[in-house]
Amino acid sequence: MGYAAYKSLYHEEQSGLGFGGTEEVFAGLGNYTKALADPAFLDSLGNMGVYCVLYVPVLIGVSLALALLLDSAMARARQFFQIALFLPHAIPAMIASIVWLYLYLPGMSPVVDALDGMGAHWDFFAADTAVVSVVNISAWQWIGYNVIIFYAGLQAVPRETLEAATVDGAGALRTALRIKVPMIRSTVVLVALFTCIGAVQLFDAPMVVSQRANGMGVDWSPTMYIYQAAFQRHDYGLAAASALLLAVVAGTASFVVTKLGNRGRAA
């Protein structure tokens, strides 16, 4: 981070008429103002915001629901389902994104063929649905990981408390929502914190999906913008400044999630 901060204060210029070498010139906060004034960078932040609004509730909600099902008295073959749910997380993100890309392709995907057969046509690469395709890839890979964390937290809930709730006439759903979930609040906050940080670092899924989605540019997410600035345009100062601005966004999101979680715990 220190080296990134140093690089963010400089930009490279060619000497002479462009025939000489390059030299680093002190730019001060110029790279930061350049990033904040660039519509592409601002759009990437907006795309990330839309992604987070869709992704974070889906991931936490589905993961928590599955963990509660695994912890219920009616659950069978718990170890099998834990392994089955965790397996997608063991697949590298880039490989998973490529596999899903083929599952999105018309004429090659059994998923698309099945939807067309039911009369429910869905274009996974349209401008307004590409973000849903990205959310699906990320959620598929991370739901099982979070299920394991939630399930571990649920195992720490005192069994005598659950037995007392059953004796008092509380059903399974009421016990889950009124007793189990409040007692693992700190685990939920931790998962929400990790989810927000991971969402800010989104790269693999949109990078792959953007190869076919016309509505997604090469700098759809902030990390893609940073990648393009550094390795395509060789503007390392702008890339470093953008990365530090993204770190500020991640830190702010982490602070907000932590404060809201602590407020809920105090309440």
Q: List pLDDT tens digits, range 12-61.
A: 876 655 565 677 888 889 999 999 999 999 999 999 999 999 999 999 99
| Helix orientation angle between 93-104 and 110-117, rounded to the nearest 10 degrees | 40
Of the candidate ranges 17-21, 221-225, 244-248, the one whose mean pLDDT is the lowest: 17-21
Alpha-carbon distance 35 to 237, whole Å?
Answer: 10
Question: What is the number of domains present in the chain?
Answer: 1
Question: pTM higher than 0.85 for the full model?
Answer: yes
- The answer to whether the beta carbons of residues 85 and 147 sit under 8 Å apart is yes
Q: Residue 223 corresponds to which tokens in the numbers above?
A: 């990390």
Q: At residue 73, does pLDDT exceed 70?
A: no
Cα–Cα distance, 145 to 149 (Å, whole number): 7
Lookup: tokens for 227 = 């990648």
| 55 vs 169, higher pLDDT | 55
Average pLDDT over residues 162-189: 85
d(CA 13, CA 101) in angstroms, rounded, equals 40
| C-alpha span between 178 and 55 (Å, rounded) | 25
pLDDT higher at 167 or 16: 167
CB 42 within 8 A of CB 126: no
> In terms of residue numbers, what domain contains 195?
2-266
DSSP reduced 3-state for 11 = strand
Give how far the C-alpha of residue 53 lies from the chain's centroid of Cα atoms, to the nearest Å: 10
239 compared with 169, residue with greater pLDDT:
239
Long-range contacts of 83-86 (CB under 8 A, 24+ apart): 84/144, 85/143, 85/144, 85/147, 85/148, 86/144, 86/145, 86/147, 86/148
The CATH code of the domain that includes 61 is: 1.10.3720.10
pLDDT at 45: 94
Buried b (16+ CB within 10 A) or exposed e, 78-93: eeebbeebeebbeeeb
Task: Write the DSSP symbol of residue 33.
Answer: H
3-state SS, residue 37? coil
Find all residues with CB under 8 Å of 179, minimum gap 6, and list them. Answer: 157, 161, 162, 165, 170
Pairing of strands 10-14, 22-26: antiparallel
13 — phi, psi (to 5°)? -130, 145
Q: Tell me the C-alpha distance between 117 and 111, whole Å.
A: 10
Say if CB 205 and CB 136 are below 8 A apart. no
- CA count, 13 A, side-chain hemisphere, 226: 20
